[in-house]
Structure formats: structure tokens, C-alpha cells
Amino acid sequence: MAISRILLQGLNAEDLHAASLRTLLSDRSAATFIISSAYVRAGGIDEITDLLKNIADKVTIYVGVANGVTSSQALKQLIACGISPFAVNMGTLSRIFHPKLYAAFSSDYVKVIIGSANLTFSGLNGNIEISTELTLSRQDASDNNNIIMLEKTFSQLHTQYPDNIKRIGHPDEVDALAALGYLENEDIKRHAVIVGSAQTSPDSISLVPPFPILSSQKITKKTKRTPLAKTFTPRLALGEVWRGKGLKERDLNIPTGKNTNPTGSMFFKKGLMENIDQRHYFRDVVFANLHWFYDENIHKKHLERATAQFEIVIDGISYGNHRLKLTHDSRTDSETYRQNNSVTQIHWGNVKDFIAQPALLGKYVTLYHLGDDRYQLVIA
């Protein structure tokens, strides 16, 4: 029967995941170790670097990437410790690789920490986290079944899902992942997404298929949002790239204030997206593959311009495809930039007539990337 203890980091002064993890990794009886974490940052690796170097030949690490948190610095630190981690890319924006597991396997028992703590400094020290420490005995039938399940599942992951799970053994491979937008740079607050941010053709950044989810039950998302128009056909690794908050008069170009004039455009703001820098995300990620050029007007030379094809879908009805203009303010010394405000906007052009409708106030806008310069903008 498993021996267990609950860790209540942040609620119990004696419980720190960093200390418990160090104890687990110091187990000299363990022949192998498995670490699995959704998010990995340099501060988390710092907590256990000395121990990882001693067990580098015994430890296997699975790390979630393309999630806006896991960083290049963290993966390079693991490589410097002599460990080649497995990078797990789910290939879709709708799911993330989320298991947090720390396990030490010996011939008689397995020690496990399983819960909410990621391999980050905050996850191991500062956040309120809860986990269970378990010691499973190989002599106990129930415990041993769980041990076998853990060993078998994780040992087969990279062979079962080779398109989604890759071993990273050299810093150049880390740089390649970062160039595709799958890893964060901890020196720059940005967002990594599945679609990538490399200046390459869409085909070259959509090679990661959605990770197959196994379930005996049908997974149904509880939502009242209007379904996509029938004309929407998503491509692998491309899909939802932004979801805004409820539309306002300014967005729809129906201002009621006396001193406010309709501008014919809408700024792409942070909306409901977490961990994005709205000053860079849209220009450098969502619309990175467009042909951008600077305005020829000497007074507007700081403005970058581009066009893209947008299918406009409102309440489930498609209003067709339209080539619309985009503008990005490239200045980094402006008051707008310093205040972290949005600097990329879409010009409604010939779709303004059916955008400027009071009935759309409060509705949500979602942007999908269909590949190349094709997008779908859904209001529902």
C-alpha cells in the first residue's frame, strides 16, 4: 500500500516543492528518474542543477513547448547538465502538455511527486501549489501495477508520437525551436505559439500534427459560442491565434461620444490571451508571414503596412473573403509603446458597413489563421 504525504506549498510553511524534489533526486537507490513538466524555466533548473549533473545518465525529462512559458534558457541549461530533454509539442492551440511528475525508480520502490508544481522557480518555491508525495512498493500488487503503467507509458511516449515528441541534444536544436516560435526568451517577454513565428512558408511551420488524445468518453466543450462557418477548414497546426474581449463602440466604429470620430479600424489588443505582449505578438507572430512594407509618406515612415485575406463570419453567417489592410506602428520609443498599448490594427475597408452594427456590441471576436495570408475573423 502506498505511503503518501500531501504538500501544501504556500499554505504550509514547511512544504516546499524544491526541498522535496531535491530529496527525491538525491535517492542513491534509484536506478532511473523521470521528470515531466508542462512549463520549464531557468529558475527551476537552477534549483536542481547540481543534482541533475550527478544523475544525467539516469534521468529522462519531458518538457512542454509551444506554450508561451518554457524557455530556451531552461533547455540549454538541461543540455549543459548532460541531459537531452524530450520537447513535447501538442500541435494545437486548444490543448497543452500538462502533467507534472517527478519520479525515482529503484528495484524495491518508486518515489513520486505528482501534482500542480511546474519546473519553474515559482512552481517549486513561490506559488501556492499542492502535490502528493508517494512511495510505491513493488511488492504490493496495486502499487506495482501503477509503477508498471508509469514506466511503460513514459518509456513509449517518444516512439508512439514521433511527430510531437523530439529529443533535443544540442543548443543549435534549441535555437531552431526558438526560431519557430516554440520557446520563450526569458530576456524578452513574448509569447510562443503553435503556428510559429519564423519568416518561412506556412507549410514549413505546420508540420506538427495535433497530438492524439485518447479517451473512452467523448470530450464536449461546454460553450454557447456560435460554431464556425461551414467554409472554415483548419490546417494542421494552424487555427485560433487570438480571441478578443467583448466588442466596444470604438472597435465597431459606431462611437456615440461627441468628440470621438469613427476611424475605420480596430486595434488588436491582448483580449483574452494570456502571456502575450500585444506590441509584438500580432506583427511578429500572427501576421509574421505577410509582406510588410514601410509607408512612403515621410511623416508616416514609422508605420508598416500589409494586406491579408479575411473571411468575415458574423453569428455563423459568412460575409465572404475580403482583402483588408493592416498597420503596425514600429516605434519603440513612443508613449503608446512605453505604456504597453496595442500598436497593430486592422482597417475595415469595404466590410465596415456590416461591422458597424450596434447589435454586435459585447460579442466576441476570434481570429483564425488558415495558412499563407488567409485568415478568418469570427464575431459571435
Residue at 188 is within a domain: no
Per-residue pLDDT band at 193 (split at 50, 70, 90): very low
Q: Is the pLDDT of residue 241 over 90?
A: no
Q: Are residues 155 and 228 in the same domain?
A: no
- Strands 364-371 and 129-137 turn out to be unpaired
How confident is the model over 2-41, as pLDDT tens digits?
Answer: 788 999 998 888 889 999 999 999 999 999 999 999 999 9
Which residues neighbour 201 within 8 Å (Cβ) at sequence distance 6 or greater?
Answer: 289
- Higher local confidence (pLDDT), 201 or 262: 262
Q: Are residues 71 and 165 in the same domain?
A: yes
Q: Are residues 28 and 96 in the same domain?
A: yes
Q: Are residues 160 and 234 in the same domain?
A: no
Q: Percentage of the chain with pLDDT > 70?
A: 84
Q: Residue 208: which of 84, 83, 97 has the closest Cα?
A: 97
Q: Is the pLDDT of residue 187 over 80?
A: no
Q: Are residues 326 and 249 in the same domain?
A: yes
Residue at 209 is within a domain: no
For helices 72-80 and 171-179, angle between their N-to-C axes, nearest 10 degrees? 170
Return d(Cα 299, Cα 354) in angstroms, integer. 32
Q: Are residues 162 and 295 in the same domain?
A: no
Task: Count up the domains in the chain and report the number.
Answer: 2
Q: Residue 325: which of 299, 301, 351, 305 has the closest Cα?
A: 305
Q: Are residues 172 and 266 in the same domain?
A: no
Residue 367 sits in a domain of what CATH number?
A: 2.40.330
Q: Are residues 135 and 242 in the same domain?
A: no
Which residues neighbour 345 within 8 Å (Cβ) at sequence distance 6 or greater?
Answer: 265, 266, 267, 268, 326, 327, 328
How confident is the model over 303-359, as pLDDT tens digits?
Answer: 999 999 998 888 878 788 899 999 999 999 999 999 999 999 999 998 888 888 888
Q: What is the largest CA-CA distance in the chain?
A: 79
Residue at 358 is within a domain: yes
The boundaries of the domain holding residue 79 are 3-179
How confident is the model over 313-329, as pLDDT tens digits?
Answer: 888 787 888 999 999 99
Residue at 317 is within a domain: yes
Q: What is the rounded radius of gyration, in angstroms, for the C-alpha atoms of the chain?
A: 24
Residues recorded for the chain? 380
Residue at 211 is within a domain: no
Residue at 204 is within a domain: no
